[in-house]
Structure 1
């Protein structure tokens, strides 16, 4: 499951950050690292961007970037 599929208010742990080069490095530098709990706080009216809550702060990312972040499913695993 990827972060773009998560509904507002749901929390999940990040399993992996995909992508290559500068995109992956930027996501990791913003704190989107494996084992970090993340929650969707808000979604823009057109669905993009999304606001996340993680590590005690809010972060807004594009939906395309969220598709590169694998998160655990409801049962705690990635299928």
Structure 2
């Protein structure tokens, strides 16, 4: 099982599910509210120093930074080949 915290910068994948821990899981509920829903595409933009926290990522048009413990709750359906992590507008701005 591949989870979001295992993706490397430049990789993307589709979300299969957000794992819930208990009935009143505030973290999984908040992730779902932010767009971490089955079928959504996530792209890893960067990771913290030495491959640690935080993980910078994009879901749809929004960017987020998650702790690895939060990203570990997101199960991925598939993974795409790496790219530079930037879309055309972001690449042009450089």
TM-score normalised per structure 2: 0.73
Q: How does 1:53-72 map to 2 (within 5 A)?
A: 53-72=58-77
The partner residue of 2:35 within 19, 31, 35 is 31
Equivalent pair of 2:19/2:73 in contact (CA under 8 Å):
yes
- Shift in Å, 1:37: 0.3
Q: How does 1:1-79 map to 2 (within 5 A)?
A: 1-20=2-21, 21-46=25-50, 47-74=52-79
Size of the aligned set, in residue pairs, is 75
Q: Is the helix fraction higher in 1 or 2?
A: 2
- Shift in Å, 1:19: 2.2
Structure possessing the higher radius of gyration over alpha carbons: 2
Equivalent pair of 2:54/2:68 in contact (CA under 8 Å):
yes
Equivalent pair of 2:14/2:79 in contact (CA under 8 Å):
no
Distance 2:26 2:62 in 1: 23
Q: Where in structure 1 are there 5+ consecutive unaligned residues?
A: none
